[in-house]
Structure 1
Amino acid sequence: MYRKLSNIDFKYFFSQKITEVNTEKNLPLGMAFETGGLIVECPWRLQVANEIVIGYSDCIQSPQRYSHKNVEKVLIGKRIVNILHFEQISDLVVEFEGSIYLELFHDSNYFEGWQLRGDNGFYLFSLPGGSYSD
């Protein structure tokens, strides 16, 4: 399957640090940047180099061992270096310094998957069925 990158300009987010990760139980994964944020309500995985260190399934299936606190330990203070958005099925990959990748996989025909916002008025979110809107 061919996946086409969107033409959306994400440069506003480059070099921003992660300042907070939501660690509350039963709430979606969310994080604040210096001037923006991301809310994740779909499956995701956090990869460091070539290893998955934690994923959505880990938090659901083994909450006594894995939680958003694991994500916080990896991402807090890290800078965003790139963001890739794929038009079909609206997947998003946020690349951080140190070869760290947060990959979001929209998987619902009924629910939104994620929301990326910037304090500059930037707002992008995945719609039910995998399309997106800004």
Structure 2
Amino acid sequence: MNYSNSSKEIDFTGFLGQKVLEIFSVGLELLDLKLENGIINVECSWRLRLATVILIGINEKKETDFSSILKDRLISKSITNIHYFETGDLIIQFEENHFLDLFADSSTFEHYQLYLGEKLFLIGR
């Protein structure tokens, strides 16, 4: 997919090639993805896609073990691209055509935080 016309230019090269080491669910909705040299904290609506097929999202039934599905699909996968949109939406692309879509869904709260190493890189607002 080509997102170049919609995205704002931010240099995400420090994240490219990093693999997901661990995924933690925080409550029923929030996620933390630990990378080789960073962290992605997700505090907004999200979904995981395989190309154009939605595999799981924030609004699944409460008994759905979304954490296991995310781990099965993303652990040890490398980030291949990140697309940032001026609306605050973020698409994190992984190998094997997996996409973690983060949707800016509040005018008041932060949507996500990206850390490169221990340094804050980007706050989604």
Partner of 1:104: 102
| TM-score for the superposition, normalised by structure 1 | 0.83
Superposition RMSD in Å? 1.7
Task: Give structure 1 regions of 4+ aligned residues with deviation exceeding 6 angstroms.
Answer: none
Partner of 1:13: 15
Partner of 1:118: 116
Within the alignment, does 1:86 sit opposite 2:88 as a pair? no
Q: C-alpha deviations, 1:4-46, integer Å up to 9, x for none?
A: 3111100111111000000354462110110001011110110
The residue identity in structure 2 corresponding to 1:10 is: F
| TM-score for the superposition, normalised by structure 2 | 0.89
Unaligned segments of structure 1, at least 5 residues: 128-134
Deviation at 1:110, TM superposition (A): 1.5
Higher strand fraction (1 or 2): 2
- The share of aligned pairs that are identical, in percent, is 35
Deviation at 1:65, TM superposition (A): 2.2
Answer yes or no: is the 8 Å Cα contact 2:113–2:120 preserved in 1. Answer: no
Change (3 A) 1:16 1:113: same
1:28-47 alignment, distance < 5 Å: 28-47=30-49
Q: How many residues are paired up?
A: 121
1-side partners of 2:25 and 2:118: how far apart?
26
